Structure 1
Amino acid sequence: MGIRVTQPGLLTTVQDLGRTKGLAQGFSPSGVMDQWSAIQGNLLVNNVENEAVLEYSILGPTVTFSTPAVIAVTGGVVNAKLNGTQIHENQAIEVNSEDVLEIGPLTQGRYGYLAVSGGLQVDSILASKATSLRYGLGGFKGRALKTGDFLATVEPKPVIAEPEKRKIAVSSHDTDQTVLIRVTEGPQFAQFEAETITAFTNQQFKISKNADRMGLRLEGQPLSVANVPEMLSEATVAGGIQVPKNGQPIVLMADRQTTGGYPVIGVVASVDLPTIAQLVPGQVVRFKMISLTQSQQALADQKGQLKQIKQTFDALNPKVSRKTATKISRLFR
């Protein structure tokens, strides 16, 4: 029992928060592009934060449920319909057997997510269910979904009390034509000339059409690397801003290579990674340098928001009496 794909959408894959345990073996982490939206989706349906979800880009899939479940659609804005009736994003929705969900095209943002109560039942490889398309690894047969694919879900439907009260009003996509992205100093920051640093922070960069899950190529006045010493390849990080010889920066994302030989002028603050991931070609970014301490504090504030959301939802769950809890615990001794 589970989900049948009747229309796959664009680049719809099974993803979680990434395959971090495979980095030493040369496997890119993959995972969702917008962790904030994926985690919110899982919280809405009472899953753990790292549970696998469906990620789609530009155009969402159409799926048919063969068993009851609770779902949530998060991320970029869509006009999703359940059995032809429009539903709201960012809230828990109950579905029944034979219900049809049509997510459709994104009207804002670039990536969207479908979370299902109990999670998607695919094999875990290197401690992750994420799809790595470059290696044909993980997720559903290591590839994007196709028409007719069937994804198993948990049965019977997990009990979720008062799903209609499980709503979230916070999103990660920014519709402004120019978006401010916070960055910290990269490993090679000090090797760039002062004029190049000024150009990096003062000018605007356009998101290129050649932006994908590996990296976001930016277009702007080229940054000079003429006096940056040649370097050996070193480990990459999410949000690292490489400057190749043509001077056009590349922001490394989920499917990035594990090592790279281009100098890194800055690193996108973790709290802003979901925002830059959701930008579409033609949108413009400006970078603002902040300290590592400021970046850590911003991330801590975001985690505090998630903690408050989780506490609110946990309060909706039915309480188990102490006597009942004791009886249950004895069954597993």
Structure 2
Amino acid sequence: MGIRVLKGGMMTTVQDLGRTGYQSQGFSVSGVMDVRSFKIANLLLDNPENEAVLEFTLIGPTLEFTSETIISITGGDFRPQINGKPAKMYTAIYMHRGDILTFGGARTGTRGYIAFSSYLDVPVVMGSRSTNIKCQIGGYKGRKLEDEDYIAFRAKRRYLPYYLSRSLDLDEFDQEKITLRVVMGPQEKMFTKEGRETFLNSEYTVTSEFDRMGCRLEGPFIAYKTTSDIISDGIAFGSVQVPSHGKPIILLADRQTTGGYAKIATVVSVDIPKLVQRKTEQKVRFQAVSVEEAQKLLADEMKELNDFRSQIYTPCKEVLDCRLVAKRISTLFK
């Protein structure tokens, strides 16, 4: 009872919100890159907020289902198909035993997410099911998925406790240029006034040096006063390091726990999903905001996700069998 991996894709791993509390011991947080898409995927299935999903990059996996369950697919549009027929994203989909889920090339974005109502049966390591490939812990055997892997489900959850009234129509990753809001610091004073102005008023290009650890940008030189070297200190998700070459590197989910280059700013958490769905050669600009503005943006996003829940679910008096839910869903889109 679970999923058989017929093709692993380029980089498909099990992820949740990450392994917090162990950076002081040298363990990266890991976790999903696009937290927003992750949360929506679980919301669509009424899963616990931190339930593990499959995250894939650039090339999606091919999965065979060995039992019935419900899934949701979010993130970039990889043109998913079930048994050769197009599958809808951002909605709950009932999967039968023997169904084959495949993906095409990415129409938008670079990362996709698959959530499961029956929950992936992988061990909890230090409070998380996330895969840390460098340490070879968490997820499925501490590595990315490969052909012929098999992941069982932890539960026979083939129903939803609500009527799904409609799907979400979200396609947010097709913009050629984006603006990332940042909180300046903690070492912004190590950069000249001209360097800070360059950072905030220039356009940068996403390079091919872009993985779960970080994203290197190409663009104008960001001038520092004397050196960009510092005594190593902690690194947050979204920290913008500027090494001696003067080009920004934004550190992401699998970032190192400490670093010795000055950090000019930190991308606000609600804008990180926009960054991690960028493609090579797409453009990025930066805009400074205050800590208070960043906190308000996060509060607004939390409210938005709560509003999504009320939009897509209508409470019912009894728990519905998944087949009935799927039938009702299909009638909504004829």
If the length of structure 1 is used for normalisation, what is the TM-score? 0.92
Equivalence for 1:38: 38
Equivalence for 1:301: 300
In the alignment, the residues of structure 1 paired with residue 312 and residue 49 of structure 2 have an alpha-carbon distance, to the nearest angstrom, of 13
Gaps of 5+ in 1: 321-333
Letter in 1 for 2:208: K
Give deviations 1:143-181, integer Å, cap 9, x for gaps: 0101110111134234214665352223442x2222111
Equivalence for 2:327: none
Equivalence for 2:256: 257
Q: Answer yes or no: is the 8 Å Cα contact 1:44–1:166 preserved in 2.
A: no
Alignment of 1:95-110 (within 5 A): 95-110=95-110
Deviation at 1:243, TM superposition (A): 0.3
In the alignment, the residues of structure 2 paired with residue 316 and residue 273 of structure 1 have an alpha-carbon distance, to the nearest angstrom, of 33
SS in 2 for 1:60: coil
Give deviations 1:166-205, integer Å, cap 9, x for gaps: 52223442x2222111101120012311100110011100
SS in 1 for 2:105: strand
Equivalence for 1:323: none
In the alignment, the residues of structure 1 paired with residue 93 and residue 165 of structure 2 have an alpha-carbon distance, to the nearest angstrom, of 10
Equivalence for 2:160: 160
Equivalence for 2:224: 225
Give deviations 1:181-236, integer Å, cap 9, x for gaps: 11011200123111001100111000011111100000001111242474210000
Equivalence for 2:332: none
Equivalence for 1:246: 245
Q: Answer yes or no: is the 8 Å Cα contact 2:52–2:130 preserved in 1.
A: yes
Give deviations 1:256-310, integer Å, cap 9, x for gaps: 0000010000100111011111101100100001111111101110010111223
In the alignment, the residues of structure 1 paired with residue 269 and residue 99 of structure 2 have an alpha-carbon distance, to the nearest angstrom, of 37
Once the two structures are overlaid, the 10-residue window that deviates more, 196-205 or 305-314, is: 305-314
Equivalence for 1:89: 89
Equivalence for 1:15: 15
Equivalence for 1:327: none
Matched, 1:275 2:274: yes
In the alignment, the residues of structure 2 paired with residue 42 and residue 124 of structure 1 have an alpha-carbon distance, to the nearest angstrom, of 18
Deviation at 1:21, TM superposition (A): 2.2
Q: Answer yes or no: is the 8 Å Cα contact 2:182–2:287 preserved in 1.
A: yes
RMSD of aligned residue pairs (Cα, Å): 1.6
Q: Answer yes or no: is the 8 Å Cα contact 2:165–2:313 preserved in 1.
A: no
Alignment of 1:64-213 (within 5 A): 64-161=64-161, 164-165=164-165, 167-173=167-173, 175-213=174-212
Q: Answer yes or no: is the 8 Å Cα contact 1:202–1:286 preserved in 2.
A: yes
Q: Answer yes or no: is the 8 Å Cα contact 2:227–2:244 preserved in 1.
A: no
- Number of aligned positions between the proteins: 319
Q: Answer yes or no: is the 8 Å Cα contact 2:161–2:318 preserved in 1.
A: no
SS in 1 for 2:230: coil
Equivalence for 1:28: 28
Gaps of 5+ in 2: 320-334
In the alignment, the residues of structure 2 paired with residue 317 and residue 272 of structure 1 have an alpha-carbon distance, to the nearest angstrom, of 35
Deviation at 1:14, TM superposition (A): 0.3
Deviation at 1:248, TM superposition (A): 1.0
In the alignment, the residues of structure 2 paired with residue 137 and residue 74 of structure 1 have an alpha-carbon distance, to the nearest angstrom, of 25
If the length of structure 2 is used for normalisation, what is the TM-score? 0.91
Identity of aligned residues (%): 38
Structure 1 residues 51, 171: CA separation in 2 closer, same or farther (over 3 Å shift)? Answer: farther
In the alignment, the residues of structure 1 paired with residue 18 and residue 262 of structure 2 have an alpha-carbon distance, to the nearest angstrom, of 24
In the alignment, the residues of structure 1 paired with residue 163 and residue 181 of structure 2 have an alpha-carbon distance, to the nearest angstrom, of 35
SS in 1 for 2:77: strand
Equivalence for 1:326: none
Give deviations 1:42-66, integer Å, cap 9, x for gaps: 1111111111000000111110111
Letter in 1 for 2:35: Q
Q: Answer yes or no: is the 8 Å Cα contact 1:16–1:128 preserved in 2.
A: yes
SS in 1 for 2:154: coil
